[in-house]
Structure 1
Amino acid sequence: MSQYRRMPVTTRERQTFGAVPDAMELPDLIEVQRRSYRWFLEEGIKELFSEVSPVRDFIGRDLELYFEDYYLDEPKFDEKTSRLKNVTYEAPLRVKTRLSNKRNSTTKEQEIYLGDLPLMTPRGTFIINGVERVVVSQLVRSAGAFFTADVYRGRRYYGAKIIPNRGAWLEFETDPKNVIWVKIDRKRKVAVTSLLRAFGYPNDEEIMAIFKDIDTHPINHYIEATLNKDAAKNEEEGLIEVYKRIRPGDRATADNAKSLIHSMFFNFDRYDLGKVGRYKFNLRFALDTSDAAVADEEKRIISKEDLVQIIREIIRLNITQDEPDDVDHLGNRRVRAVGELIQSRFRVGLARMERII
């Protein structure tokens, strides 16, 4: 029986026979994947541990678990052996933890094994069960604030979408009666002034004063029309109105509503505009776009001042009838590479682990 031998792979210099020489050298396209995964290993995991840490006990008073440092151990098999044995090319992730007992003021440190992380090859691929795989980057809609318009009887009625990196969407719209509504996480709509009351602007006089310099159309008065449609008249009623739209059927009280809204919008674990989202938001409203302004966790949640800026812009657009944003424009989209995609799945796993602990 004849034996077939694989010929050794030889590298040859690429020859160009075109009449016009190459204008520029081809870029290293795989570097995008390698750089993204390197960011995940060096910075992405660190961000996740800082979000989760400390994990508190059920009561929240006695025990606290801190994730302090981590490292990747040596892989069990190298890339070539992983192919031959049909196993995954991976390395153990080990984390240095610290358990603090507040009751007796004791601390215990221990290194734990958290799982195996696939390693990227120099070609930007992964070896999964002996098969070479690649994670395809996603082209997604960027986080931030986008202003839209619907045409009715030849006139534009403007709205907005606040898209966070993590958390509930806010969708604003103006109806033909000049009332501005908002939907929270695609639930039933509520008057935007109810949301303003829930965010800390309780009475009609204060709301009217905030927008008096922008709501100046001689015929169409948007805030006045919205207040007339608003069932709420104070902060507690505003909280309850918003709660009834988010949790229809549940018993609505001011305390329940305040707790829910605080956790949905003012808790970084549940709501995050992201660095890109905060940068685009600040750029739109001519605010500070420095690294310190967009990277701080406290700045990446939505504030009541942000809500006022959005409503003011909707009113301005309704008056001026300017062009709305093109949500399909590539400037309003971004690439999510392998590091960010794996970080999002890693975050889900850490959240499950936190609940189990």
Structure 2
Amino acid sequence: MSERQQTRLPLAAPWPGGHLAADPARASEERLRVDRATGETSLIEQAMRSVFPIQDFSETAELMFVSYELSPPRLSPAECRRSGATHAEPLRITLRLVAYDPGPDGERTIRDVKEQEILLCELPRLTPEGTFVIVGVERVVVRQIAESPGLRFLAGPAERLQAVITPRRGPRLTFEHDRKGLLWARLGASKKKLPATTLLRALGLATGEILGGLHDVETVDIGPGGELSLRIDPAVLLGQRVTRDIKVGGEILVKRHRKVTRVVLRKLELAGVTRLPLGVDDVLGRVLAADVVDPRSGEVLGEASDSLGDSMLRRFAERGMATFTLAVCDGVRAGSTIVDTLRADPNRTTDDALMAIYRVMHAGDPPTLETAESLFANLFFNPDRYDLWPAGRASLDRKLDQGEAGLHELMCLSRQDILGTVRELVRRQFRGAGADDIDHTDEAVVNDAAVLTIDAMHRGLIRLERAVKERMSMVQEIDTLMPSDLISGKTVQGAIDDFFGWSRVSERVDLTHPLAELTQRRRLTPSEPDADSARRSA
């Protein structure tokens, strides 16, 4: 008997509660079509909104996604098995084509709006047995184990740590150390790298904001006679070693080179001590955490990331400066990776950083500031183009200890995520902390049939987006077109057919024995055919 002729024998009595493997598969399929009344977004709508709206190159026309509707299958599973058809439900989408007239100052006015419902593709529908009927053949989609979205710290060459933020959809973001102790960033699959501080500057952060966000900051006051004193900040001072004896009323609370404990901080608070005396040698060679500006003349006496020298300190006293701040990166309490990277970074402004990122991502194309800003915004901060998934967001919040930041619903990156990742990576590297265990279950995710089907449809939508954009740009009179003239469902349907017909996770149901079928559905397959993924799936 050939595989095509295999069929199920009728049961004398149905299984209590249904087929053994049908319920998990049916629960997976329900994620495709979430009830809109619950306020959740279905996987189909997420895939559509990741591609739409589509604009032409001149931005005079726009094709927008409005809604979708799934119709019941035309044939039952039994009829599809007999006739060699596919048990699928038609997916119709409603699109809106908007034409614009360019106006002054870059503003656009709507000239024409057309709306139309289009048959995009047919999505295979799950049978009551938890299988798919594809061209008359019963198939099952084997679950796939893959790398979980989120943040992980990996071991690089020579025990140098790397931080990798992996989204479900979008480019990866990697931070890595080099042999000189500098920190670099890689965007997506690009082989070129740029200083990590360039990425931070592109976020709109100045040098002082970068140092203040990644390092503890100490505030030093300058007295009338030039004497120096350190303001007590319990969060910064706790655990540090003092350079001289701390005395209160003749009593020595902390001896020289001893650590400051919580008991000592409590005694200082009860004694009303808010400052600790400093010597000149205690601050010379330290790094300024912010620009020191003369309030009368506006002259910058010292820039952030500069080393504090004797002449600079005298200039502060001569100009009557009352205070300045220092970054804690002395190599004892924290490393100097960020300061060294700032000094080696050739990009000093946000505009320079944006242009540098554009040149890395699109080498050879002449950049403009507007296109560079648009590219950077769409890389990591556009929820329609970048998706962490709830698992990825939970991984970021857990490892960066930012569960109280209210970011649990944000599925793209934020400035706080990037700053926190760099801070944690530098801290781990300095303290010699180990890398994450990639074989831990927290670092893996199981993709079921619903997720794999949407991934296949999304690949077709990406190809469709390129074709639609080219058609919209080549047509002279956009007013004469309807959405159906721009959309060809064959592109998306072809991607879905290839997945169910030729993908290695789509297999014919093993009907030789009931246990063989159950084993087939419970099996996990690696996402990539390499040794590590195969070992992890086993």
**TM-score bracket relative to the smaller structure:** 0.7 to 0.9
Residue 267 of structure 1 pairs with residue 378 of structure 2: no
- Asked whether the equivalents of residues 146 and 446 of structure 2 are also in contact (C-alpha less than 8 Å), the reply is yes
Give the SS at the match of 2:89: strand
Q: Which has the higher contact order (CA 8 A, sep 6+)?
A: 2
Residue by residue, what CA displacement relative to the aligned partner does 1:98-143 show, whole Å, maximum 9, x if unpaired? 6667878887665433322211112221111111111111100001
In the superposition, relative to structure 1, how do residues 253 and 133 fare at CA in structure 2: closer, same or farther (>3 Å)? same
In the superposition, relative to structure 1, how do residues 7 and 242 fare at CA in structure 2: closer, same or farther (>3 Å)? closer
Partner AA of 1:90 in structure 2? A
Cα RMSD (Å):
3.2
Larger Rg, first or second structure (1 or 2): 2
Give the SS at the match of 1:124: coil
Alignment-derived partner of residue 239 in structure 1: 354
Alignment-derived partner of residue 322 in structure 1: 433
* 1:276 aligns with one of 381, 388, 391: 391
- Asked whether the equivalents of residues 49 and 67 of structure 1 are also in contact (C-alpha less than 8 Å), the reply is no
Partner AA of 1:259 in structure 2? S
Give the SS at the match of 2:162: strand
Give the SS at the match of 2:141: coil
Alignment-derived partner of residue 294 in structure 1: 408
Q: 323-332 or 125-134: which moved more?
A: 323-332
- Asked whether the equivalents of residues 388 and 411 of structure 2 are also in contact (C-alpha less than 8 Å), the reply is yes
| In 1: Cα distance, 2:445 partner to 2:8 partner | 43
Alignment-derived partner of residue 22 in structure 1: none
Residue 197 of structure 1 pairs with residue 196 of structure 2: no
- Asked whether the equivalents of residues 178 and 220 of structure 1 are also in contact (C-alpha less than 8 Å), the reply is no
Partner AA of 1:44 in structure 2? L
| In 2: Cα distance, 1:29 partner to 1:158 partner | 42
Residue 47 of structure 1 pairs with residue 46 of structure 2: yes
- TM-score (norm. length: structure 1): 0.80
Alignment-derived partner of residue 344 in structure 1: 455
Equivalenced residues, count: 332
Alignment-derived partner of residue 309 in structure 1: 420
Q: Alpha-carbon deviation of 1:350?
A: 3.4
| In 2: Cα distance, 1:274 partner to 1:190 partner | 27
Alignment-derived partner of residue 132 in structure 1: 138
Alignment-derived partner of residue 27 in structure 2: 35
- Asked whether the equivalents of residues 144 and 164 of structure 1 are also in contact (C-alpha less than 8 Å), the reply is yes
Matches within 5 A, 1:114-153: 114-150=120-156, 152=158
* 1:250 aligns with one of 340, 355, 365: 365
| In 1: Cα distance, 2:376 partner to 2:113 partner | 35
Q: Alpha-carbon deviation of 1:35?
A: 1.0
Alignment-derived partner of residue 85 in structure 2: 87
| In 1: Cα distance, 2:203 partner to 2:90 partner | 45
Q: Alpha-carbon deviation of 1:85?
A: 1.3
Alignment-derived partner of residue 266 in structure 2: none
Q: Alpha-carbon deviation of 1:57?
A: 6.6
Identical columns (%):
30
Alignment-derived partner of residue 339 in structure 2: 224
| In 2: Cα distance, 1:63 partner to 1:140 partner | 36
Give the SS at the match of 2:129: coil
Structure 2 segments unaligned to the other structure (5+ residues)? 1-6, 35-41, 101-108, 217-327, 469-485, 487-538
Structure 1 segments unaligned to the other structure (5+ residues)? 1-5, 15-24
Give the SS at the match of 1:345: helix
- Asked whether the equivalents of residues 53 and 67 of structure 1 are also in contact (C-alpha less than 8 Å), the reply is no
- TM-score (norm. length: structure 2): 0.55
Partner AA of 1:244 in structure 2? R
| In 2: Cα distance, 1:145 partner to 1:87 partner | 44
Q: Alpha-carbon deviation of 1:277?
A: 0.9
Matches within 5 A, 1:168-179: 168-179=171-182
- Asked whether the equivalents of residues 335 and 426 of structure 2 are also in contact (C-alpha less than 8 Å), the reply is no
Partner AA of 1:68 in structure 2? S
Residue by residue, what CA displacement relative to the aligned partner does 1:323-352 show, whole Å, maximum 9, x if unpaired? 221123222000010101111222233344
In the superposition, relative to structure 1, how do residues 29 and 233 fare at CA in structure 2: closer, same or farther (>3 Å)? same
